[in-house]
Structure 1
């Protein structure tokens, strides 16, 4: 920033002492001198503007690269499931925030994580990276879903301890903006088995929605009881038994989301009618994950009339498996059918 005034000053001094016109005191000479200084100053400002825009583009490219690593693009299909996901960031100009999600196919079934770090924007990226990195390994290594959740808890605790050391005054860090005791992340872990059964562990996160085109209730929330507290403030209980919260038949869909969608308000303070919007989007048509994500976001932005006040992530999948066998004692009592 000091370079521009220095250049402008050097040009002014050179013109003043080297140009004969600058020595004259007439009105015409003064007008010419003013025009020269104005042109030089304008050129310097334009040059600075181009430099700042170039730096901004580079910063956005770095942010996009970080997003592709942390929230890597999901495949369109995985183990018989069609997928699509999206995210709206509350930070203006940012494409990344404090929401996280991923889907992996394992020997134990398709495992999904959806989470929401306290806060949003770039400040939450380190926590997102710690949780997602742990999930991507633990999902394959742990035979039980409870083991995956414990690995996420340990990764989050290590991350907080490291932050505490980095931000301690003895390490040269400033006073932390947010006390570490208040740091937490909500997590929903799902395991979708070959028969379509959905098993879940929930730490303070919204439950998913089952999407059934043509049914009387086209969007129904799958609730598996009271969720546990978010990761961070309290330790996990000794026993972690996943709950079966539903079953997806071929052609049906499942939607996971963060609370930034349900908490969206319009100018009159009314919440976004999420379930009604889902029922309208699904209708009697086939569940198309990409179309559902785009349609819900369009309705959300139209409802709030501007950018969201919180990060809003969404993940939609559709069961494209050919046949789901009837299970003895299936609580949903639905018959077997095949996808045409």
Structure 2
């Protein structure tokens, strides 16, 4: 009984490692040879079997297909009376194709393993830098969607973070100039400083100053980061500091959508020394049912085949709901459809919503002192400021 089980197990392992499609291809060639006229015209076609196995299977599978092709070629060549020297030449060609194909398969498998390892490292880096945001942070419902432009990448130059602190929930969404590993390194620097300063500094402007000082020490003269830093220090009040970034979209509980344009022009982070301008703090009324969408220019500057930008405000109006995850899912799908399936720049979306307290009617608190109602406006794609 045990020997029978061992034989069945060995047969199952052999069948599992057998390349099905290349074997079928070899069988088709043999059947064509059997049904057609006798001769060696069909013999060279057997090399297609191991060549195909090299693209779909490991080296053992390639050698199995090659051995099968050699055996069947020898049997059928002898059956058809192919001259010995011609048959030997055809079988030698099979061996000559099989052995390099096995080597190519081994190299392909090695590259795939290296790529898998790189992807796992990139995924670990993403979780370390862009930590997953829970569906509920403090009093807010939260959702995030992030897409890197590079097809094999998990992270890019866009950044986001949302942390509960002793001074309320604080968040940042930003865009590093450039792409690739340098942009990832800058994003890591900004996020590290933000997470530390958000816990230490009572004033949101002081958090921004900490990031600015760190970038001034570590960035080149032509590097910068656009960002929006926001905080919710007390109920009904949302603080926003915009450093050269696209304006957030504020969705009122009534359904109206307005862009939070900066009241004071401020340079991106890392360029303050060149302009001398400092960012200002905006205080917005933020009631139960209100939502705030922060995003990067990879969203608003995404173009379709007609070179038209994606209308984010219009898309948000179509898909806004009481569930941020559902809203961003619909927005992201529409964005991909707009560009034809693949983005050409990193894109990040972060949406937070202040739900009404349980068993309490929704209501709008009095606006904080100095806050004004925002007027609806049209979004335009951001252009990077001139350097120098």
TM over 0.5: yes
Alignment of 1:156-305 (within 5 A): 156-160=215-219, 180-215=220-255, 217=256, 219-235=257-273, 237=276, 241-244=280-283, 246-282=284-320, 285-286=321-322, 288-305=323-340
* Matched position secondary structure for 2:126: helix
| Consecutive unaligned residues in structure 1, runs of 5 or more | 1-24, 161-179, 334-340
1:114 and 2:173 equivalent?
Answer: yes
* Matched position secondary structure for 2:307: coil
RMSD (CA atoms): 2.6
2:208 to 141, 149, 152: 149
Aligned pair in 2 of structure 1 residues 44, 267: CA closer, same or farther (>3 Å)?
same
1:312 corresponds to: 347
Asked whether the equivalents of residues 263 and 280 of structure 2 are also in contact (C-alpha less than 8 Å), the reply is no
Query: How far off is 1:327 after superposition?
Result: 4.8
* Matched position secondary structure for 1:182: coil
1:130 and 2:165 equivalent?
Answer: no
Structure with the larger helix share: 2
Query: How far off is 1:195 after superposition?
Result: 1.9
Asked whether the equivalents of residues 96 and 122 of structure 1 are also in contact (C-alpha less than 8 Å), the reply is no
- TM superposition score normalised by structure 2: 0.69
Deviation readout 1:184-215 (Å, 9 max, x if unpaired): 11011111132221112111001111123553
1:38 and 2:73 equivalent?
Answer: no
Deviation readout 1:276-302 (Å, 9 max, x if unpaired): 1110111xx42x111111111111111
Distance 2:216 2:368 in 1: 41
- TM superposition score normalised by structure 1: 0.78
Deviation readout 1:162-181 (Å, 9 max, x if unpaired): xxxxxxxxxxxxxxxxxx32
Query: How far off is 1:240 after superposition?
Result: 5.5
**Matched residue count:** 289
Distance 2:278 2:106 in 1: 63
Deviation readout 1:249-269 (Å, 9 max, x if unpaired): 112211100111111111111
Aligned pair in 2 of structure 1 residues 58, 328: CA closer, same or farther (>3 Å)?
closer
Query: How far off is 1:328 after superposition?
Result: 6.2
Larger radius of gyration: 2
Distance 2:269 2:369 in 1: 33
1:60 to 119, 123, 148: 119
Task: Pick which of 222-231 and 197-206 moved more.
Answer: 222-231
Aligned pair in 2 of structure 1 residues 61, 209: CA closer, same or farther (>3 Å)?
same
* Higher RCO, 1 vs 2 (CA within 8 Å, ≥6 residues apart): 1
Asked whether the equivalents of residues 296 and 347 of structure 2 are also in contact (C-alpha less than 8 Å), the reply is yes
* Matched position secondary structure for 1:193: strand
Aligned pair in 2 of structure 1 residues 143, 64: CA closer, same or farther (>3 Å)?
same
Deviation readout 1:82-118 (Å, 9 max, x if unpaired): 1111111111221211001111111222111111000
2:16 corresponds to: none
Query: How far off is 1:63 after superposition?
Result: 0.6
